[in-house]
Every structure is written in C-alpha cells, then in structure tokens.
Structure 1
Amino acid sequence: MTIKLRQIYNSLINYSPTIFSKNSEDQILFETELLTNNIGTIEKNILYVGKASLFNKKLGEISEGNFLIEKDEEIKDDFIGKDLNIIVIPPVQDLNLLFHEVKNLFVKDFIILDSSAILLDALIKNRGVKYIVNVGSEILDNPVILIDTGYKILAHSDMKMITEPFWIRNINMGYCSYEFISEVKKIRAVQKSPNSNEPFQVICSGSPIRKLVSKVLIDSNVVGYVIALECNEKFNDNTYRIVKLLSNVVSEELKKNDVYRNLNGIMYENLIVDLIEGNVKDNKTLDERMKSAQCNFGHNLQLLILDISNYNSTNNPANFLKQSLDNILPNHKSLFYKNNILILLDFKDDSSLSDKAQESLKNFIKENNIILWVSDIFENILEIGHFYRQGIDTLKLIYDLDLEGNVFFYEDLKFYHLLNKTGLDKDLLNFCNDGLFKIIQYDEDNNTEYYKTLKTYIEEDRNAVQSANKLFIHRNTMNYRLDKIRKIGNLNLDNGEEIFKITMSIKILEYLLSTENLKLPILYKY
C-alpha cells in the first residue's frame, strides 16, 4: 500500500490545502496515523494527522517526517530548515472524520494493488483475453465487454450479468450492428474521448446504465475498447483505476497476437482479418461489417502478399515501409498480418494498376529485397481467405524451388501448386516424358549439358539465338546440341504437344528436386 504525498494533497483539494515540502512531493507513504501526545518515534514513510497546537508542542522532538495538519493555531516557524513535508488545511469540524477519509485512500490503494496482482496473474497464466476479461469482471463486480476497433466482440463476461438488450443482441451476433455504431458515434463523450487509455464515462439515451470505457492501445494505436457496465456495483474512483489497469493487461495479452500487435486501429483492417480467417461467411454479415468499417469492396479485386523476411530496416526511418507503399498505392488497403504485408487492390472501374504504379512497385520491391506474390483477379471479397492461402502455399514453393526474381504471379505458379496439392510426390515421375530421362542419363554418362540446353530453349520460347546468348555458346553449337537432343530423346521439338509434355516434365523434376523426393545428382548443377 503506497501513496505519494502529492496524491494525498490532490484528494484534499476541497479543503483548500497548502503544502510545504522540504524534499519532494513524490514522497512515498505506506500508512497514516493520528498525531497524539504519546506518539513514539516519527517514521519517515508514515503520514501523521493532527492539530497545529499539538504539532507545535512536539516540533522540538521532530527532525523529519510527513504531516497533515489542521490549522487550529498558527504553525511555528521552527519547522523551517527541518526535513519535513507538511500539508496544512483550515479548521475542520471533525479531525477523526478527516483521518478516516485519508485512511480510506490507503485502503483503496490496497484494493488496486490486490487487483493488479490478480490481473497480472491472469496474464501470466496465458489463458487468453476471455479469461482476463472474466477476471476483471469479478474484480469490478460488473459485466465487462471487449471489442476491437471494427466493433467485433472479442470477449465478454458471463451473459447473466449483462442486462442491456442491445448489448445482448451485439454479443449474440458477435459484432455491433451498424445502427448501434452510428448512435455510439453521436455520443459527445465518445467524440471527446481522450487520446489515451484514461477511462471515460458514457451515458446512452436508450439506457440508464452507465458505461466506463477505456481504449486498448498498442504502440499508441487504438486496437480495441474495454467497456464496463454499471449493472451491479456503483462506479467509484477505484473503478476508474481498475478499468485502466484491465485495459493495460488486455493490451499486453493482445500484443501476443501478431494481428493486433500490427494493426493500426483502422476498422477495415479488422474486417479483412475476419474475412481471411473465415469469421465473415455471408453477405448479410459482410454488409453490416462494411457499413461499420465505412468501407466498400468492388468486384475487381487482387491480393498482394509481401514477404518482408529479408527486408533490412536498419537504415530506414520508422514506418518507412508502410508510408512508401501508401505513396505508391494510395487508394488501396494494406495491413500487416502474420509476418507479411497484405495489400488489397480494388480497381473499381480500372482493369489494373497504372504502368507508373507497377514500375514504382517493382523497383521498390527489388531495392528492399522483398518477395511479392500477386493473386489472380477475383470478384467476391468473401473469397479473400482462399486467395490468401494460395499465396502462403506458393510463397513456400518459391523458396523451395529457389526461383529467381522478386515478383511472382500466381498464374505462373499454378502448376507447381497443383503438384503440391496432389500429395503424390513419389508417383509424379510416372507422368514425365521418357525422352527427357534419356537426355538426363546421357548427360550423366558423358558430362554434357543437353538437359540444361533443352530447358533454356523452352524457357526462351524455342528461340535458338536467344538461347545461345543465354548459354554463352555459338549459335552453331546451339543447333548442334538441339539435333543431338532430338536424336537422344527421340523428341519432336516442333510439335506443340511434345513441347507441352517436356515442359510439364521439367517442372515436375524441378518440384521433386525442391522437395528432396528425387535424387538425380546431375540435375543439382542446373
């Protein structure tokens, strides 16, 4: 139980106090006692409450201490020069009543200290935000509700404690209706709420029950709200302090979640996360949530996933990455989710990004060593979770296959993704072209590079000149190698169907090599 001298002074403001502080108004106090004739040794961390007349008599025996003095007579100047902190108030009707009022401050502080210990224990137990909210509700003896900035219900105390019909409806839906949010935003207390987690009181016209609200902050960003309802116990000074404490503990718990730790308090971010995680499944719910988030989605959408695991932020200012992307793509929505940056492109009437934006994005991606995955175009925002999972799967394949470059379109990776989804790695060789294996075996036996030559020839769209340049060989050498490839593998390189089979086989071999389900040493050098 510790209180600072300044807190005592502030609590007595109605008594018109005066303070004389020799050392510090931040002096820590553990307890309070009455100043009596038979008082023993004056303790440094105890506040003594008494009359000036008795204080004057004892002043010769006192060299240090903290005192709350009722001025029933003038205080002698002898205290000057001593190590004393004195709060002086005018005469009062009942000094004992004043003493008990101050004593209660220490009792309240004990309640807060005890509550802190309980809430911190709840945090340490790692049982989640719902458990913490229930513990907070028990301490307050009032229902508590936790919502995020998208007005989604994250946690709530026992429904039996909640008596407000609209909160019962919100909890049953899992989110607050647009009508509810619209009314809340009209409340002056909400409009004038502090830019901190200091609790503020809210009174709704549709309900007599008072609410105490504290913003949940992570790195100065509002990510949610703790709401206490005055259903059982009347609010008091302790309630404010406990609600603020609860908000701090909830913040620490949410920091464990990558999603909330990296959200910027923008309502659409919460909606996109819920869409990805499948928490919004139908158009009715989507319409409500879009109204709440004050955003809308068109029917020409594309998802970008930026893998920033190799991004070096050492020489860049704080928030450089987000600000740069916002400058390149100012009209699109972005958020940080599970170690990646997600950007939702909503083209509305346009078919694609402008050439300038594409060029700026490609340059930025390359300069900052970022890997960019680009989805196919999709029409329904409810499908974003499907495209997100495609992206995460194929990003892993990009690394497994050790593909060169920084920008990858899903369209170009679909075949690899298909192979990955079959789960038939050991059987995939059965689908490869036999002629290709003959070429691989010939390379192994004769230390030649016909497989690499064929692969390059197909990559260069069967252009012999470009293939020769890429391989740093003469075009005549290239033509000689192509003739040998035709003979060794019995391949018709002018037949489109044959080229398709060879291309498919090469991709299967690359995939199997990347997953280590194929042991062909000759291929590793390619």
Structure 2
Amino acid sequence: MSVSFNNISKQFFKNSINIHLNGETNILFNDAKLLASNQSVFFKDTIYVGNTSTFAKLLTNFKENTFVLINDNKMCFSNLTSYGLNIIELKSSEDIFEIFNKTSDLFKENTIENQNTSVLLKSAFSGKGIDGIIEVAASLLNNPLIFVDSNYKVLAHSDIKYITDPLWLENLKNRYCTYDFIAGAKKLKSVQKSIKEDHVFEVMTNSSTCLALLSRVVIDGKHIGTIILLACRKSYSIADKDLLSLTSKIFGEEMKKNNLYRNADNLAYSELIYDVLNDKISSSKVLKDRMKSADIILSETLASFAIDISKYKFIKKYHNYLNDNLSLYFPISNTVYYKDCVIIICDYDKFNVTTKKFDDFKIFLKDNALKAGMSKCFTDVLSFKKYYKQCLSALKIGEVIAPENSCTLYSDIQFYDLISLTCNQIDYREFYHPSLVKLMQYDNKNNSDLFNTLYIYLKNNQHLLKSSSELFIHRNTMSYRIKKIFQLVDIDLSCSETVFNLMLSYKIIAYLKLF
C-alpha cells in the first residue's frame, strides 16, 4: 500500500539531521528497498534506504528519486540540487537495518490502516447506525469509545466491560455526565482550545483514571458532539488518532440523518424538548438538573406553538430567513424542529392573543404560507407533550373549520377535539337539540335559511343589527326571520341553559359535517 513522503518524514523526525527537498514531495511510495552498490535501476515510487558512502558511488544513476540516508562519510548535499532528489539525512550513528525496518513498517502499518479504514467505512453503510459504527471502531482501536453530544449526553458507547474508569461507568449508568463533570471539563484548557479546532486532542481530568483521546463531531461547521477514546486497554498510537478522526467524520455524516442535529442551533434545549416529547424524562428532578446543566431558563407561565412548515414559501428567501424572523417574534425562545413542525415554547404573558406582536406574527405566517397551532397556558415543562398535542390538534382542526386563519388557538377548538375523542363510539346525532332538527327540516322543505339565521343571531349575542349585517339582509328581514323561528319552535332565548344547549348542538352538527 502507498505511503506519503510526509509520513516517512514524520517517522524519522527525531532521527534526522536535515531534510533536503529538491524534487516532488507529493509522490506516493509503494515500496522500500535497501540501497545496493551494484544497483543500476531506480524507481520514483520506491524509497531507498542506505549509507551516503554507497549513495555517492551511484549518483549518476539517480533522477527524481527519494532516499533515507545515513551520513557515514560526512557528505555535503548542497551540490545535488540539479538531480531533483529528496533526501532525509540521518546521523552516522544510526543502524541501517533498524532504519530499513522502520521504513518497511510504515508500509505494513499503512496496509493495516487502509484495511481498518475499509472496515470502518463498510460499517457506515451497514444500516446499524451509530451503535454499530462505534462497536466496529472500538474493536479496530482496541479501546472503548463513548459518543456524547455537545450537552454531554451519552448517545452511544462500545462494550462497557472494557471501561475501567469508575467516573465514566457512572456517567454511562446515568446516560448523562454529571453536572460537576461538565463544569470541570469546560474549564480544561484542552477542551476550551478544541472549541475552535477540529483535530484530535488529549484530555486528562483530575477525577478520571484514564487518559482520553477526543475527536469533535461537526456538521456544517457546527460542533454537535465528541467521540471519546478511553485508553483503558492500551496506549494509543498516531494511527489511532487518524482512525478516530475518520470515525468522527463518519459520525457526522450519520448524524446528518437526524433532523435535530442538522437543524437545531441550541442542541441542549432541543435535546431536552425531544426527550420530554419522547417520554425519556419522567421526573421533575431530572428535568431540573438537565435545565440547570444546560443553563435553560423558562418563564413561569408558558405557551407553545407548532408551526407547520410543509407549505413554507422558501423560494427567494435567504438562508436562515425563517429562523431569523422567528427570533424577532420570540427573542428569548428557542425553535425546535420536530416532525416537520417548528416547535416554540414562549412566555405566555409576553406573547398572547392580546398583544400587537401576536397580530404581526399571524401576518408573517400568512405571508409565508405557514400555519400555526397554539396551546393553552401551562407551567410544567414535564407536561409539555400534552400541550404539544394541543398545538397539533389546533393545526388539524383549524385547517378544517377556519382554513383562512394562519394561527388557531386550542382554546377555540377544544370542544371539537373533545368530540373527536369519542366520535367513533357515540352517535352524536342523538344529541341534536330538537328545535334545531325541526328548523333543518323546515329549511329543506321551504328552501329557507332559518337554521343558519338562528346560529348567527346567537353567535352575535342576539344583537339584531350585527346579525343582519353579517347575513347581508335588512334589519326588518332579520326581525321577520326571528319571529318565524319563534312561531315554529318553542324556545326561550332568555334562558342561558337553552342558549348553551342550542350552541352545543350547532358545534356538534358543524363537526359532523366538516369531519
């Protein structure tokens, strides 16, 4: 397998006196040979190991070749620039056979590295996800691996039996690093430095018993997690660093399939919401610890929105247009992408239906072909899943009963949601008010509109002028229709119970017609 000149230079960095570059350095070498005194043919893709005393006798045979030479005759290399040679010059005290073996080992190691790379890449296409990839990588590296996100939540790890560090065993048990561990890790200079760099780096904390090798996982320039190699079984090598770096790149590609890591800017907040929605947090204490460790502070009174982006007009919009605009309406809230919706939890008192900002928000939604559902007010984040479902119900039912509205409040449609829970078990026609049934029958027979007239009249709190205006009829016509209704059915609209039962029936009838 091929070895680069850079790798060969690294191998002899401590042994070399100097490196003389007069030819191409981007050549990949396929073989290493000892320099023989009777040799006449030399290949560009072969690196030759020998003494300068032998090299000097064969100088006229060389052209654009590369050598690792032990300077046993104090040779000067300054007059060799015209030959186009690359030479790694070593001390005269070096053993030629030892140097040759080190050179040959590079090709063997490279073969193993390429085989390991091939195995690792195949694991990425196995369909087993990060759990399968991390097991393969740990086997190749002969050390346990742990994958944590940027909030120090454990997302995957290799076989736990090879992990000897008590601190990490505790972290794996909890599936989260402790708050003390997070605080300590963030103070380490090596971790602070790595925030701006993508290379593999070494970490040793005061509380840990194992040296750790870390490689950041990055998606589109955004740090979303870290792969940690614990040197529990053996010390790591340079080749291990390269393989760990490749593993982190493969993890980045694998995690791109997850909308959370591809889209979310605040991963700590997003993961918290995801875990609440997926019933992975069951106690208030765990929730509070999570929020504390991630510096998440929410208001005492909350409301949630689910914005359907399936019909979003993204054409001619700049990148991040939606995020930027949502941050204007919800400056201290974070957006979470979940199942084709943008989820927002905001301060209910500062953003409710009475504010001008809410009106502007609805206009923004309409202009961008967006629809939103808003939950009722709540205080406990642990119960957020219930209010998220309210948002979805508001979206679904609002699209049917009021498709012209860009934002539907759950409080406006909760009755329809209540009916939907039992509509398959109950015949709601049995609950129609008998007066309304009589009006419907009369309308069908006489082609009149008394059923709808009564609804508009009740909706407008029995205000004659408002009702006639909404129906586009004269006030006298409206008055005539109401008198006709009273002649046909015996109802007392001064009785609140009667009005309630009538409106209840209207809602049931509307639901059964629409759904």
Same fold (TM over 0.5): yes
1:122 aligns with 123
Question: Would the alpha carbon gap of residues 236 and 496 (structure 1) be closer, same or farther in structure 2, given more than 3 Å must change?
Answer: same
1:378 aligns with 378
Question: Would the alpha carbon gap of residues 26 and 512 (structure 1) be closer, same or farther in structure 2, given more than 3 Å must change?
Answer: farther
Normalised to the residue count of structure 1, the TM-score between the two structures is: 0.85
Larger mean CA deviation between 409-418 and 504-513 belongs to 504-513
2:412 aligns with 412
**In structure 2, C-alpha distance between the alignment counterparts of 1:51 and 1:13, rounded to whole Å:** 18
**In structure 2, C-alpha distance between the alignment counterparts of 1:514 and 1:101, rounded to whole Å:** 80
List alignment gaps of at least 5 residues for structure 1: 516-526
1:325 aligns with 326
1:512 aligns with 512
CA contact (8 A) 1:5 1:26 kept: yes
CA offsets 1:19-56 (integer angstroms, 9 cap, x no match): 53555x43344443444456686555444444556556
1:224 aligns with 225
Question: Would the alpha carbon gap of residues 353 and 409 (structure 1) be closer, same or farther in structure 2, given more than 3 Å must change?
Answer: closer
**In structure 2, C-alpha distance between the alignment counterparts of 1:136 and 1:316, rounded to whole Å:** 41
**In structure 1, C-alpha distance between the alignment counterparts of 2:193 and 2:41, rounded to whole Å:** 50
Q: SS in structure 2 opposite 1:185? A: helix
Q: SS in structure 2 opposite 1:228? A: strand
**In structure 1, C-alpha distance between the alignment counterparts of 2:101 and 2:39, rounded to whole Å:** 18
Are residue 136 (structure 1) and residue 137 (structure 2) matched? yes
Cα drift, residue 378 of structure 1? 1.1
Cα drift, residue 368 of structure 1? 2.1
**In structure 2, C-alpha distance between the alignment counterparts of 1:431 and 1:18, rounded to whole Å:** 95
**In structure 2, C-alpha distance between the alignment counterparts of 1:423 and 1:181, rounded to whole Å:** 51
CA contact (8 A) 2:202 2:213 kept: yes
Cα drift, residue 411 of structure 1? 0.6
Q: SS in structure 1 opposite 2:225? A: strand
CA contact (8 A) 2:351 2:358 kept: no
CA contact (8 A) 1:202 1:213 kept: yes
Question: Would the alpha carbon gap of residues 296 and 48 (structure 1) be closer, same or farther in structure 2, given more than 3 Å must change?
Answer: same
2:254 aligns with 253
CA contact (8 A) 1:9 1:17 kept: no
1:503 aligns with 503
The code of the aligned residue for 2:432 comes to: C
Normalised to the residue count of structure 2, the TM-score between the two structures is: 0.87
2:164 aligns with 163
Question: Would the alpha carbon gap of residues 323 and 493 (structure 1) be closer, same or farther in structure 2, given more than 3 Å must change?
Answer: same
**In structure 1, C-alpha distance between the alignment counterparts of 2:2 and 2:435, rounded to whole Å:** 84
Q: SS in structure 2 opposite 1:376? A: coil
**In structure 2, C-alpha distance between the alignment counterparts of 1:56 and 1:450, rounded to whole Å:** 114
1:432 aligns with 432
**In structure 2, C-alpha distance between the alignment counterparts of 1:135 and 1:402, rounded to whole Å:** 54
2:309 aligns with 308
CA offsets 1:408-434 (integer angstroms, 9 cap, x no match): 111112112112222526623322334
Question: Would the alpha carbon gap of residues 34 and 405 (structure 1) be closer, same or farther in structure 2, given more than 3 Å must change?
Answer: farther
CA contact (8 A) 2:150 2:267 kept: yes
Are residue 202 (structure 1) and residue 203 (structure 2) matched? yes
CA offsets 1:123-155 (integer angstroms, 9 cap, x no match): 222223222222222121111111222222212
Cα drift, residue 454 of structure 1? 4.6
Larger mean CA deviation between 84-93 and 198-207 belongs to 84-93
The code of the aligned residue for 2:293 comes to: S
1:394 aligns with 394
Within 5 Å, which residues of 2 pair with 1:285-304?
A: 285-304=286-305
Question: Would the alpha carbon gap of residues 85 and 256 (structure 1) be closer, same or farther in structure 2, given more than 3 Å must change?
Answer: farther
2:241 aligns with 240
**In structure 1, C-alpha distance between the alignment counterparts of 2:458 and 2:476, rounded to whole Å:** 18
CA offsets 1:457-499 (integer angstroms, 9 cap, x no match): 4554444433444444444444444455555676665654344
CA offsets 1:198-232 (integer angstroms, 9 cap, x no match): 22111111233101112222222222221111100
Question: Would the alpha carbon gap of residues 62 and 283 (structure 1) be closer, same or farther in structure 2, given more than 3 Å must change?
Answer: same
**In structure 1, C-alpha distance between the alignment counterparts of 2:37 and 2:354, rounded to whole Å:** 88
Equivalent residues, number: 511
Q: SS in structure 1 opposite 2:194? A: coil
CA contact (8 A) 2:270 2:336 kept: yes
1:421 aligns with 421
Question: Would the alpha carbon gap of residues 331 and 499 (structure 1) be closer, same or farther in structure 2, given more than 3 Å must change?
Answer: same
CA offsets 1:320-371 (integer angstroms, 9 cap, x no match): 2222222332223332223222221146x86958834334423322322221
1:520 aligns with none
CA contact (8 A) 1:119 1:136 kept: yes
CA contact (8 A) 2:70 2:89 kept: yes
CA contact (8 A) 1:258 1:339 kept: no
**In structure 2, C-alpha distance between the alignment counterparts of 1:428 and 1:104, rounded to whole Å:** 82
Question: Would the alpha carbon gap of residues 163 and 452 (structure 1) be closer, same or farther in structure 2, given more than 3 Å must change?
Answer: same
Within 5 Å, which residues of 2 pair with 1:11-160?
A: 11-14=11-14, 15-20=16-21, 22=23, 25-37=25-37, 42-51=42-51, 66-68=66-68, 73-74=75-76, 80=82, 86-92=86-92, 93-160=94-161
Identity between Structure 1 and Structure 2 (%): 30
The code of the aligned residue for 1:140 comes to: L
CA offsets 1:395-453 (integer angstroms, 9 cap, x no match): 23333546321111111121121122225266233223344445445555565555554
**In structure 2, C-alpha distance between the alignment counterparts of 1:178 and 1:275, rounded to whole Å:** 19
1:269 aligns with 270
1:523 aligns with none
**In structure 1, C-alpha distance between the alignment counterparts of 2:35 and 2:461, rounded to whole Å:** 98
CA offsets 1:9-28 (integer angstroms, 9 cap, x no match): 455444254353555x4334
The code of the aligned residue for 2:200 comes to: P
Question: Would the alpha carbon gap of residues 459 and 151 (structure 1) be closer, same or farther in structure 2, given more than 3 Å must change?
Answer: farther
The code of the aligned residue for 1:419 comes to: I
**In structure 2, C-alpha distance between the alignment counterparts of 1:315 and 1:509, rounded to whole Å:** 43
**In structure 2, C-alpha distance between the alignment counterparts of 1:329 and 1:458, rounded to whole Å:** 37
Larger mean CA deviation between 422-431 and 362-371 belongs to 422-431
**In structure 2, C-alpha distance between the alignment counterparts of 1:37 and 1:435, rounded to whole Å:** 117
2:363 aligns with 363
The code of the aligned residue for 1:411 comes to: S
Alignment root-mean-square deviation, CA: 3.3
**In structure 2, C-alpha distance between the alignment counterparts of 1:487 and 1:56, rounded to whole Å:** 125
Question: Would the alpha carbon gap of residues 238 and 458 (structure 1) be closer, same or farther in structure 2, given more than 3 Å must change?
Answer: farther
CA contact (8 A) 1:51 1:70 kept: yes
2:340 aligns with 339
The code of the aligned residue for 2:311 comes to: N
List alignment gaps of at least 5 residues for structure 2: none
Cα drift, residue 307 of structure 1? 1.6
CA contact (8 A) 2:131 2:156 kept: yes
Cα drift, residue 62 of structure 1? 5.4
**In structure 2, C-alpha distance between the alignment counterparts of 1:271 and 1:326, rounded to whole Å:** 19
**In structure 2, C-alpha distance between the alignment counterparts of 1:47 and 1:466, rounded to whole Å:** 96
